[in-house]
Structure 1
């Protein structure tokens, strides 16, 4: 999701900073769906409650359950997606597994469309939302980025990664697109509710009369990619790691290309309800612990995204 230095939020922000080339282990398929059918996957085995070093940091109710329910759009490779066996894999599940070992719980991922995750958090369907979600002031304050109106009490974020937004086109057919301004008069496909979507709407308002951006938004990024691949659009936009992964894997690397530079570098955050401060602080402590013990860096290196790594967990660092 890029073009100079502009970005999944209001007048433009993302679901990603210049992240290095995505290194993929094996031929992982871009599968999974963005519905809310309750598809579940634990974030891996974790240390027992009795031996986990940070178990006492968690709210008692979660310690008793031994599970943190995670709302996630599990169709956003390589951040979270289903592998060929149907297991939830990616950057977020690996980080959740590492934090779970510190906290003595399992992180259980439940599939949902991206733009419904915060609603699911508000209704207590999930304990947290972890889905390449950009930490923004609007989300912190419960403001609809499209209308500027208050729609809820907002959430707190524990920031764990940095990323920007990229534009991609069919390979060998860049349509002359290098920047977001070049999208005027073009058709763009995006995932609904993302920074790419917000950025496209903001850019469309700047276009000359009669030459706006035709935006088609989908439930998940894979649907947008399918439309572009079939020739139904001129370009697509998503967070840089996702765009780079699609460029590397789709059609054996023959379908897409990234054009221009990524923009709107901003932090990804784990979303937690405003009144759930104990859980928020436990997650921050666990994230700092895996940064300190090296497990965090192992995940970054595994997925080839070390340039988006952070060195300290921050709460509500988004602008």
Structure 2
């Protein structure tokens, strides 16, 4: 999965439109962001010269190997990144990638549902070993800085970056109310998921509004709740990470409920979050991701969900800005 504050938060001062949006039959995620700069990389995903490991599984901490399970915290209400199908099974981009990574590491990835803005604290409390939930890799998160107050609130986390996405605005279909950019939201009401990039952007833009026309912001525990509020007419617009907004536009009401407006902004990498001090696990996950990229399994999964243009070509650690 918002990009959420735990993406789904990018630096609120950086609001630049990037790329044109297209949704035609399948979702097309605009090619955004430069995945060649910043962060550290592993040149060979199947061998580490410093450790002598011959496979990603060799890099795993022994206690995780013994248990055979990696617990993954995730807000499982963010289709198509992670959600439950009609049978109650956890499906989506992240679960599919988790299954592929688990094969490389010789363990099972078990996704556990949690409210998005509590996932990082769950890592600190060791409820999970990883958080994988469309979470944007940012310097603030890496350093444990609150994105709004800029105060230190925790130890921070490390990220293994695995996808790139921007943020989109959507409205009721046929009723965009002249909304094309974030500044057009001044004097209007937006529904968003709490703790996401969309939430932070709305707060940052509202401060820029003039003439007393601030943005009225309603925040919810899940993105699906925010969509329901917009669908019922309780808000003028909604905002989510592009894959999520595009999926809602395509599927809600058979494609009759919503429409995308304007362009994506805040293109940034999604990262698998790992608590600081777990360097061995971080390197193992990075090596496993590089392995499935090299084998082509990664591309198959991304193509399955129609978001090929958000794919990365190598795993990076802390590549976000």
- TM > 0.5: yes
User: Structure 1 residues 91 and 22, CA, compared in 2 at 3 Å: closer, same or farther?
Assistant: farther
Please name the residue that 2:282 is paired with: 280
Q: Is the 8 A contact 2:9 2:147 kept in 1?
A: no
Contact kept, 8 Å, 1:20 with 1:306, in 2: the verdict is no
Aligned-partner SS, 1:107: strand
Answering whether residue 213 of structure 2 is matched by residue 198 of structure 1, we say: no
Structure 2 CA distance for aligned equivalents of residues 258 and 295 of structure 1: 30
Query: What does 1:1-40 align with in structure 2 at a 5 Å threshold?
Result: 8-11=9-12, 21=23
Give the CA deviation at 1:21.
3.9
User: Residues of 2 paired with 1:138 and 1:65: CA distance?
Assistant: 32
- Residue equivalent to 2:51: none
2:174 counterpart (130, 152, 172): 172
Distance, in Å, in 2 between the alignment partners of 1:101 and 1:209 is 57
CA shift, 1:147, in A, is 1.1
Given that 2:71 and 2:128 are in contact with CA atoms closer than 8 Å, whether structure 1 keeps it comes out as yes
Residue 146 of structure 1, CA deviation:
1.5
Does structure 2 retain, via aligned residues, the 8 Å contact 1:23–1:302? Answer: no
**Counterpart position of 1:28:** none
1:10 offset after TM fit, Å? 3.7
Change (3 A) 1:229 1:81: same
Aligned length: 286
CA distance in 2 between counterparts of 1:53 and 1:219 reads: 39
Distance, in Å, in 2 between the alignment partners of 1:20 and 1:133 is 23
Instruction: Quote the offset at 1:20 in angstroms.
Output: 6.2
Which secondary structure does the structure 2 equivalent of 1:205 belong to?
helix
Which TM-score applies when normalising by structure 1? 0.86
Does the residue aligned with 2:117 lie in a helix, a strand or coil? helix
Contact kept in structure 1, 2:187 and 2:216, CA below 8 Å: yes
Give the superposed CA RMSD: 1.9
Q: Secondary structure at the match of 2:263?
A: strand
Aligned pair partner of 1:271 in 264, 270, 273: 273
Q: Which runs of 5+ in 1 are unaligned?
A: 2-6, 26-51
- The separation in 1 between residues aligned to 2:87 and 2:14, in whole angstroms, is 34
Match of 2:147 in 1: 145
Q: Deviations over 1:268-306 (max 9, x none)?
A: 000001100000000000000000000000011000000
Matching of residues 65-80 of structure 1 within 5 Å:
65-80=67-82
2:75–2:115: 8 Å Cα contact kept in structure 1?
Answer: yes
Deviation at 1:13? 6.9
Task: Note the 1:88-127 alignment, pairs <5 A.
Answer: 88-127=90-129
Q: Give CA deviations for 1:153-186 in whole Å, capped at 9, x if unaligned.
A: 1000000000000000000000100000000000
Counterpart Cα distance in 1 of 2:59 and 2:232: 50
Q: Is the 8 A contact 1:159 1:269 kept in 2?
A: yes
Aligned equivalents of 1:131 and 1:267: distance in 2? Answer: 12
Return the offset for 1:24.
6.6
Residue ranges of structure 2 left out of the alignment (5+ in a row): 3-7, 28-53
SS at the partner of 1:168? strand
